[in-house]
Homo-oligomer: A and B are copies of this chain.
Amino acid sequence: MNELLQYFQRELPGINGFLDAEADKLNGLVKGVAKHIIGSGGKRIRPMLTLLFARAMGYEKDDYHAIACSLELLHSATLLHDDYLDDAELRRGRTASHLVYGRTETILAGDALLALANEMAARYGQARLSWLLAKGIMETATGEIEEIEFSKDPSLDRDKYMEIIIGKTARLIECACRCGAALAGATPEQEDAAGEYGLNLGIAFQLVDDALDYASPTSETGKPEGGDLREGKVTLPLILLMEDGDGAGSEALLDALKDCSLTGAQCEALLEQVREGRYSEKTRDEAAAYVEKAKACLDGFAPGEELTVLRQAADYVLTRTK
């Protein structure tokens, strides 16, 4: 993982500096929120993927920051609206923006970051980049809506779950990869290969996220253990547990999730069953298959530093613990 680490260490300051400079230009009412969410860490995986694919396809210019960072801003905008609507208290271990800055500032900062992301993508005067970002925004908004709809009427349907995680996470990561390829003037086939890598990586990323939620203590992820279950969110570990059961408890569980009437003791019992059945690990195993699919998409790419890093990034998604 040496190359991955080195690449990130080399490129992160430029990406963070660009994000900071763009946030600084925003109106005072929303600037604090923007800097709070941008400064709260995050792995910058989206901008990094844009850069990696652009470079992997031979792009040598240094003007990649605007399109790369637009993906990060779009992601941040989504987090702001999501956290507000979820009444979330924490984001990446820090107090959520709406609790620090207020609802008006947070909603408007989300709008401003979305607008800025879009404007940054349009700076290149390339219709393809604008189209990709427009599609990414549309898919992300739809994914967000479908997730909330699902949370109001949860099911233990694996297909539905996959649809949700693709919409809320994987499409934007696909978009980041496609943008890098498009910036480099890739052929449609090359762009599709980049997109396919991103889609599979994104699915794996979210599967691991959902696995971690059942597995890791608060200190590492910044989120309480079993938080998804406590919030009534159905994710793969729970679906796997129920698939292995006799189905007797499923209806009752869904009703309890829908009404938010799951007691603390019921939660603990379910968490214990997930641990015993190793469903978090089994979810990771499913993620591993998507990581392999992602790596296979790289077969046609020329060898080089970026290709090495893209392979390591896929592996990292699987091994991360926070």
Contact = CB atoms under 8 A, between A and B. Distances in A.
A146 B108 CA distance: 10
A7 interface: no
Given A27-B149, A85-B103, A145-B27, A137 B108 contact: no
- Range of interface residues on chain A? 35 or more
Contacts of A134: 115, 118-119, 121-122, 130
Given A127-B127, A130-B127, A27 B137 contact: no
Contacts of A203: none
Q: How many copies of the shown chain assemble into the complex?
A: 2
27 contacts: A27-B149, A28-B149, A30-B145, A81-B107, A84-B107, A85-B103, A85-B107, A85-B108, A108-B141, A110-B111, A114-B114, A114-B137, A114-B141, A115-B137, A115-B140, A118-B118, A118-B137, A119-B134, A119-B135, A119-B137, A121-B134, A122-B130, A122-B134, A122-B135, A124-B127, A125-B128, A125-B131
A112 interface: yes
Contact of A112 (B84, B104, B126, B141): B141
A29 interface: yes
Contact of A122 (B29, B107, B127, B146): B127
A138 B135 CA distance: 18
A144 interface: yes
Q: Which of A84, A104, A111, A128 counts the most chain B CB atoms within 10 A?
A: A111
> Which 3 residue pairs across A and B have the least CB separation, nearest first?
A130-B130, A122-B134, A115-B141
A278 B110 CA distance: 41
A319 interface: no
A284 to B, nearest CB: 30
A40 interface: no
Contacts of A128: 125
A116 interface: yes
A240 interface: no
A29 B145 contact: yes
Contacts of A146: 27, 29
A127 B124 CA distance: 9
A142 interface: yes
Contact of A148 (B81, B85, B108, B124): B108
Contact of A131 (B104, B130, B142, B149): B130
